[in-house]
Amino acid sequence: MAARKYIYFFGGGKAEGTAEMKGLLGGKGANLAEMAGLGLPVPPGFTITTEACSEYYHLGRKKLFSLISGQLDKSLKKLEKVTGKTFGRGPRPLLVSVRSGAAVSMPGMMDTVLNLGLNPETCRALIEQTGNERFVLDSYRRFIQMFGDVVMGVPHHHFEQELDAVKRSRRIQLDTELDIDALQEVIRRYEKIYRRDTGKAFPTDPKRQLQAGIDAVFGSWNNPRAIKYRQLNDIRGLKGTAVNVQTMVFGNSGENSATGVAFTRDPSTGEHRYFYGEYLINAQGEDVVAGIRTPQQITRRGSREWAKSQNVSEAERRKKYPSLEEAMPAVFKELDAIRVRLEKHYRDMQDLEFTIEDGTLYMLQTRNGKRTAAAAVKIAVDMVKEGLISEKQAVLRIEPQSLDQLLHPVFIKEAEEKAVRLTVGLPASPGAATGQAVFSAAEAEAWAEEGKQVILCRIETSPEDIGGMNAARGILTARGGMTSHAAVVARGMGKCCVAGAGALNIDYRDKKFSVNGTAVREGDWISLNGSTGAVYAGSVETVAPKLSGPFGQIMKLADKYRRLGVRTNADTPHDTTVAVKFGAEGIGLTRTEHMFFEGDRIVSFRRLILVAETVKRLKDDCGCAGLKELKKAVAGNKQALEAISQYQQGLRELLPLQRRDFEGIFRALKGRPCTIRLLDPPLHEFLPQDAAGQKEMAGVMGVKVSRIKYLVESLHEFNPMLGHRGCRLGITYPEVTEMQVRAICEAACRVAGSRPEIMIPLAGNVKELSSQKQIIERVIAEVSAAKKKKLSILIGTMIEIPRAAVTADEIAREAEFFSFGTNDLTQMGCGFSRDDAGKFLGEYVQKGIYEYDPFQVLDQDGIGKLVEMAVKLGRKTRPDLKLGICGEHGGEPRSVEFCHRVGLNYVSCSPFRVPIARLAAAQAALRD
């Protein structure tokens, strides 16, 4: 059996891999191969597969290396041949980078080592060859630092301290000002630090350096930052990272060399007015993103806009920060042509890394660029217009969940104009954020945990800050450009970010920053505009965003391709209006009980509850069904009569209030359907549980506190979610159902075109339905006759009890529609209390017992089966049965896809998730 191929070569105009092989070669490796195959100037190298990484974890490092060592030696030989250099010896020493790269890009998550292969001997040869001692020493000190940090875990700042000390003693500020002598001192100090921290001398054998480098990259796959990143981004099922070993090219070899990163379109807005990117002359690798020096722009136009925003004069800009277009026009032209070519080739916006060595351009990376949701939408819409992609591809290209970013507020213009502007940084990730300043990631997490909204303020961010960045409303940094860690990660998270606000003087020790004479301390409110880079003192008011433009166009396309309807869950005219604006085609769930809590309605309802049981008992005792009959039967019993009239009084008070609510909602719906659920929660939820509240209620009702206490106790349930609620209430207190239905019918008579649908909650047995349906049909007929209006109102039920799902054929005899209440169905189907499951569900998900929290993502294997079964059984009885879902899952993309698959008619979700559901539904239809 031939040994498995663990290493793929690229370079010399050829490549063994392609862009399609991301799973095996990682994104970086697959795209390097693709670019090399296209004949672009890619430094040659090879990729060790993700399968090798997986073996590393299965077999251990020793076995892995013996498994791949033959292929590794061969690949190195080939690399030497292609480059004409030799690894670790000879007059033209070969230096390589060792780069990580998984199938999904994880910026900054794993570690890269540059300049590997340097030692005193190769340094000498390289100085001989290049005649540039300064450059060689600069590369060597970088190598010691990176190898020490990444491979051996020597803290980065131990090296930084030494570097700073040397710079200070020589009174210089920039790394580029370090001369040969200074660099030699830095190297001596670095070697000392290395020996001190690792207990070993710096390894001079390049083969051992390489092996250790590969080992470290594989090891970094499971470092805490990488694990956290995968968790936060829900990245699963990958084999591991690939390792790319690639010939070094040097952007730090002098003034005719440079390194940079660029986007083929603006990753914040999606615009492509010019070529977006940044570069630094005489710099290496991550200098651009590390925020050590101020990066320069690629194009003259971009450079001028940047200078304007930073208050840099044109003369100063040209002298100190010229664009690549101005500084190296020929290279710029070549790079611009590659940009156009790559975008056409990949048919998507690309994020590029390049290096210029002595005037020669090299491409070091390309990938589909991370972008904000706004940019994603604009790019997709533009690319359809440009003929690069089809409408369907455009719809499929946008992550439904990301639309959330576009639905959230931006600053009110006037409020922003009035706000005190502290400074302007770079508009790194758009949106508006207001919060209290905190100065460390840990604090951001802790404050957010307490429910506070915070802005994370850092000199610059690093991968360790991920958790804090995620917890913060916005991120503010003093250093770094548009491609700095903070900017890239914030855009990925859809979080507002202002980066590189150079005027900020951040003091971590005293937890404050000062800027242009103002001090902001921990806990002070500040506001960020991620679209302009402005930083304001205090909190600035926000408004809803614009839903037209590219967003509107994408939604239109989504509607063109989706087959699933999208409704909303809304209890008020306001929420209804918002949802209709977001494209809701009706209401899938109105919860009437929410209306009972508003204002003094609760008083009317409590009055009713106070006597409800008495009335019920009287009815049972007399064997009377109706209140009229009961009144006659108890004539003379003053107490009984009083209770009955108080009960009726409560109902009378509630009727017009409910009617008004429904009228408002029907008006907001403008002829769209509206599913209304009858009273659902247990009665004790409407009573005060604390002593003060009970005293107050007693006062309002004019009864003794003891009576209220007794009432609360008598309504107490051990397991209220399985208690006296849902249609069980309607069966015990039919007058409440009657009142609600009357309010619905009367409201429908008043608002032309209204289309109510009445939904009976929590049925588990078809007889519960028949009993409630009798009342509902009777009231509809009564109102219809009284108002002389024909009312056609569908009567249906929630499917939220497993028994209802498995007897759906019977249920469908009575119900004209089903709406899957998947919150309760999950609770009862999995046996997880919604209120208590938080204690263990996290662990369950972590251990993979459930793939996702089943309350967030529908458990398709279990609860989904109940849904499917109910769909089949229900439609068997009633082929035109209307089916929807109104649980939280109705706005969750994976669950929406499931609903499409099992043939529901619509999903219903909270207003802000309506656009997400529309897009998810379209994607489900396109993936069919």
Instruction: Please state whether beta strands 882-885 and 817-820 pair in parallel, antiparallel, or not at all (unpaired).
Output: parallel
Token pair for residue 501? 């606000």
Q: Does 114 bind ligand ADP (CB under 6 A)?
A: yes
Q: How near is the Cβ of 485 to Mg ion at its closest, in Å?
A: 9
Which part of the chain contacts ligand ADP (CB under 6 A), choosing from 243-251, 531-539, 553-561, 712-720? 243-251
Nearer to Mg ion, 365 or 569 (CB): 365
Token pair for residue 81? 């041949």
With CB under 6 A as the rule, give the number of residues binding ligand ADP: 16
Q: How near is the Cβ of 297 to Mg ion at its closest, in Å?
A: 19
CA neighbours closer than 13 Å in the CB half-sphere of residue 644:
20
Binding-site partner at residue 249 among Mg ion, ligand ADP, none, CB < 5 to 8 Å by type: ligand ADP
- Cβ-contact 867, 902 below 8 angstroms: yes
Q: How near is the Cβ of 295 to ligand ADP at its closest, in Å?
A: 12
Nearer to Mg ion, 114 or 535 (CB): 114
Q: Residue 531's closest CA among 207, 829, 250, 309?
A: 309
Binding-site partner at residue 97 among Mg ion, ligand ADP, none, CB < 5 to 8 Å by type: ligand ADP
Q: Does 108 bind ligand ADP (CB under 6 A)?
A: yes
> Assign residue 549 a region: left if phi > 0, alpha if psi is -120 to 50, beta otherwise?
left
Q: Does 136 bind ligand ADP (CB under 6 A)?
A: no
886 is catalytic: yes
What's the rounded Cα separation, in Å, for the pair 423 and 503? 7
Q: Which of residues 314-353 bind ligand ADP (CB under 6 A)?
A: 353
Binding-site partner at residue 114 among Mg ion, ligand ADP, none, CB < 5 to 8 Å by type: ligand ADP
Token pair for residue 475? 């991120």
What's the rounded Cα separation, in Å, for the pair 680 and 604? 17
Q: What's the length of the chain?
A: 928
What's the rounded Cα separation, in Å, for the pair 692 and 895? 44
123 is catalytic: no
φ, ψ for residue 442, nearest 5 deg:
-65, -45
- Cβ-contact 261, 130 below 8 angstroms: no
**CA–CA distance from 484 to each of 220, 427, 462 (Å)?**
21, 12, 9
Binding-site partner at residue 873 among Mg ion, ligand ADP, none, CB < 5 to 8 Å by type: none
Which amino acid, one-letter code, is at 869? M
Q: Does 860 bind ligand ADP (CB under 6 A)?
A: no
Binding positions for Mg ion, rule: CB under 5 A: 108, 365
Which part of the chain contacts ligand ADP (CB under 6 A), choosing from 61-69, 120-128, 153-161, 247-255? 247-255
Nearer to ligand ADP, 460 or 585 (CB): 460
φ, ψ for residue 906, nearest 5 deg:
-155, 160
Which part of the chain contacts ligand ADP (CB under 6 A), choosing from 86-94, 107-115, 413-421, 605-613? 107-115
Binding-site partner at residue 819 among Mg ion, ligand ADP, none, CB < 5 to 8 Å by type: none
Binding-site partner at residue 907 among ligand ADP, Mg ion, none, CB < 5 to 8 Å by type: none
Count the Cβ atoms, other than its own, within 10 Å of residue 337. Answer: 10
Nearer to Mg ion, 288 or 437 (CB): 288
Nearer to ligand ADP, 116 or 729 (CB): 116
Q: Does 246 bind ligand ADP (CB under 6 A)?
A: yes
Q: Does 285 bind ligand ADP (CB under 6 A)?
A: yes
CA of residue 348 relative to chain centroid, distance: 21
DSSP at 298: S
Which part of the chain contacts ligand ADP (CB under 6 A), choosing from 244-252, 474-482, 888-896, 911-919? 244-252
What's the rounded Cα separation, in Å, for the pair 594 and 603? 14
Which listed residue (68, 248, 496, 611) binds ligand ADP by CB under 6 A?
248
Residues 65-104, mask of contacts with ligand ADP (x by CB under 6 A): --------------------------------x-x-----
Residue 509, SS3? coil
Nearer to ligand ADP, 466 or 665 (CB): 466
- Cβ-contact 770, 735 below 8 angstroms: no
Nearer to ligand ADP, 41 or 90 (CB): 41
Token pair for residue 296? 């320069």
- Residue closest to Mg ion (Cβ): 365
Q: How near is the Cβ of 286 to Mg ion at its closest, in Å?
A: 6
Q: How near is the Cβ of 30 to ligand ADP at its closest, in Å?
A: 14
Q: Does 483 bind ligand ADP (CB under 6 A)?
A: no
Q: Residue 237's closest CA among 110, 369, 104, 64?
A: 104
- Cβ-contact 651, 659 below 8 angstroms: no
What's the rounded Cα separation, in Å, for the pair 565 and 677? 19
Question: What is the gyration radius of the CA atoms in the chain, in angstroms?
Answer: 34
Sign of the torsion angle spanned by Cα atoms 331, 337, 343, 345:
negative
Nearer to ligand ADP, 285 or 864 (CB): 285
Nearer to ligand ADP, 492 or 821 (CB): 492
Binding-site partner at residue 355 among Mg ion, ligand ADP, none, CB < 5 to 8 Å by type: ligand ADP
∠ CA 716-627-772, nearest 5°, is: 65
Q: How near is the Cβ of 244 to ligand ADP at its closest, in Å?
A: 7
Q: Residue 196's closest CA among 238, 141, 154, 256?
A: 154
Q: How near is the Cβ of 877 to ligand ADP at its closest, in Å?
A: 58
∠ CA 605-756-899, nearest 5°, is: 105
Which part of the chain contacts ligand ADP (CB under 6 A), choosing from 106-114, 155-163, 301-309, 657-665? 106-114
Q: Does 43 bind ligand ADP (CB under 6 A)?
A: yes
Nearer to ligand ADP, 112 or 405 (CB): 112
Nearer to ligand ADP, 23 or 761 (CB): 23
φ, ψ for residue 242, nearest 5 deg:
-90, 165
Q: How near is the Cβ of 252 to ligand ADP at its closest, in Å?
A: 9
Q: How near is the Cβ of 191 to ligand ADP at its closest, in Å?
A: 23
- Which candidate in 272, 485, 889, 900 is catalytic? 485
Q: For residue 213, what are the contacts with CB-CB under 8 A and spacing of at least 6? A: 98, 113, 116, 147, 150, 151
Which listed residue (119, 355, 372, 568) binds ligand ADP by CB under 6 A?
355
CA neighbours closer than 13 Å in the CB half-sphere of residue 220:
28
CA of residue 120 relative to chain centroid, distance: 48
- Which candidate in 749, 886, 899, 909 is catalytic? 886
Q: Does 249 bind ligand ADP (CB under 6 A)?
A: yes
Q: How near is the Cβ of 100 to ligand ADP at its closest, in Å?
A: 6
Q: How near is the Cβ of 11 to Mg ion at its closest, in Å?
A: 18
What's the rounded Cα separation, in Å, for the pair 755 and 761? 19
Catalytic annotation, residues: 485, 886
> Which stretches of the chain bind ligand ADP, using CB under 6 A?
43, 97, 99, 108, 112, 114, 246-249, 285-286, 353, 355, 364-365
